[in-house]
Amino acid sequence: MGVSRPARLGDRLRLGRRGHRGRLVPTGAKLADLVVITGFSGAGKSTAMAVFEDAGYFCVDNLPPEMIRSLVELFQHGGSRVESAAVVSDVRGGAYFDGLRSVLDDLEASGLRHRVVFLEADDQTLLDRYRETRRRHPMAQAGMVAEGIANERALLKPIRQRSDVVIDTGGLSTAALRRRLADELLPAERPVKLAVTFTSFGHKHGPLRDADLVFDVRFLPNPHYELELRPLTGLDDEVVAYIDREGGLEELQGHLVSLLDYLLPRYVREGKAHLVVGIGCTGGRHRSVAVAERLAAHCRTGDYVVDVVHRDIDRRPRG
């Protein structure tokens, strides 16, 4: 079972009260929205969970139905700060999955705002996806994916009938599915913002392994060769002035800003949640730092969540 944001709630949370026969009893808690994601294996439930996670929901993957009760009780407790949660519960829960209908009955009786999202696809689409990933279907006892899909379809039929939202993901790209989920299920007042991280680094200390975009700025004047500037960094005005002594820094910024203004809205439309932009120079202390800071300052004027990381700024310069 995978848990995300926050990783744990700590011992300060206690179980809420239960009514008779295990029914959920509201306790005046803060949990205002619970999304139960279910459906076919290979239909995109992980993508759906990522959409809610990026929107700030507390997310739990592969949660047995009976544990949904306990999770809700934790979040209904007065000490919980979780207002929105999304859980994935599917046939991976084995025999426990039969209890999902009972849990949904309890959620309706409790009055808690909740939605059941059911993802499906036709048999051929599911078969193709399993062939691509070479994963084992959880209900294919003899390893036959087609048999597993048929078994799953029969088991899921009652849940599909009582779902609030049913989405056929056949023919939908990952980006298209993310957009549809966000448009139909996320509150308009809390859109998913693109998080952009500008990371400066030095090529001589190794590549930036997790970058989506990388710009090499080693063609700019290098302050390292000026003894009085060498101990400083790209955060210092003297270094920035030296780098821009021929107007190259200002000109480069203009070109990169134009490119980012073109790219970032398109990444947003494709459903991308986080973009890492690497800026590399030789040592990662001067030129890349200055450029990263300038690009970050520009993007903060837009509707993005912007962060700056200087990977190698604290490495001591060598003579």
What CATH number should be reported for the domain holding residue 9?
3.40.50.300
pLDDT of residue 105: 86
Pair (162, 230) in one structural domain: no
For residue 123, being part of any structural domain is answered with: yes
For residue 315, being part of any structural domain is answered with: no
pLDDT of residue 265: 92
Pair (177, 204) in one structural domain: no
For residue 94, being part of any structural domain is answered with: yes
Select from 131, 153, 185 the last residue of a domain: 185
For residue 242, being part of any structural domain is answered with: yes
Identify whether the C-beta of residue 77 lies closer than 8 Å to the C-beta of residue 15. yes
Please, what is the end-to-end C-alpha distance for the chain in angstroms?
51
Pair (135, 273) in one structural domain: no
Pair (74, 174) in one structural domain: yes
For residue 190, being part of any structural domain is answered with: no
For residue 12, being part of any structural domain is answered with: yes
For residue 252, being part of any structural domain is answered with: yes
CA 168, 174, 180, 181 torsion-angle sign: positive
pLDDT of residue 298: 96
The first and second tokens of residue 258, run together, are 């134009």
| 10-residue mean pLDDT series, the chain (319 residues) | 37 28 45 89 88 88 84 79 87 68 86 90 83 68 74 85 90 80 73 83 91 96 94 96 95 97 90 88 96 96 89 83
Q: What is the pTM of this model?
A: 0.55
Domain span including residue 239: 195-310
Pairing of strands 2-4, 58-61: antiparallel
Pair (125, 170) in one structural domain: yes
Identify whether the C-beta of residue 204 lies closer than 8 Å to the C-beta of residue 73. no
Which among 25, 38, 29 has a CA at the least distance from the CA of 69?
25
Give me the residue label for tokens 């021929």. Answer: 246
Pair (47, 19) in one structural domain: yes
Pair (144, 228) in one structural domain: no
Pair (283, 164) in one structural domain: no
Pairing of strands 165-168, 114-120: parallel
For residue 180, being part of any structural domain is answered with: yes
Strand order in the sheet with 274-281: 213-216, 274-281, 195-202, 305-310
pLDDT of residue 110: 83
Helix boundaries (H) for the chain: 45-54, 65-76, 100-110, 123-133, 145-161, 174-185, 237-243, 248-269, 287-299
Pair (112, 75) in one structural domain: yes
Pair (278, 134) in one structural domain: no
Select from 163, 185, 207 the last residue of a domain: 185
Name the residue type at position 289.
V
Identify whether the C-beta of residue 91 lies closer than 8 Å to the C-beta of residue 138. yes
pLDDT of residue 188: 59
Select from 137, 162, 185 the last residue of a domain: 185
Compute CA distances 259 → 8, 183, 253, 254, 292, whole Å: 40, 27, 10, 9, 14
Query: How many independent structural domains does the chain possess?
Result: 2
Pair (176, 228) in one structural domain: no
Pair (171, 204) in one structural domain: no
Helix axes 145-161, 100-110, angle to 10 degrees: 20
